Amino acid sequence: PEARHWHLGPVAVEPRRQGQGIGSALMEMAMALITARREPAFLATDQAACVPFFARYGFRDLLQAAILGVPHRFLLRPPG
């Protein structure tokens, strides 16, 4: 996006620690800041299985493209 926005870097939790709410806690903290500022947020992932996780926080598909042959999903969360 060209407009002012947040870009969330990789959100990852060590596999042995997944399912303990760590990723959710990180996302909730970030979403509180982003929502308070009423700005959109953007992220990219090469992990299709993670898209439903991000969708819980309001992210929607913007586009899909391959980077160096690896399929990626680009997601956008509207302001609010």
pLDDT tens for each residue of the chain, 80 residues long: 577 899 998 888 999 999 999 999 999 999 999 999 999 999 999 999 999 999 999 999 999 999 999 999 999 999 97
* pLDDT score recorded for residue 23: 93
**Domain of residue 23, residue span:** 6-77
Whether residue 1 lies inside any domain: the answer is no
Pairing of strands 70-77, 6-7: unpaired
Structural tokens at position 66: 């391959």
Whether residue 67 lies inside any domain: the answer is yes
Q: How many residues appear in the chain?
A: 80
- CATH code of the domain containing 22: 3.40.630.30
| Domains: count for the chain | 1
Q: Is the pTM of this model over 0.85?
A: yes
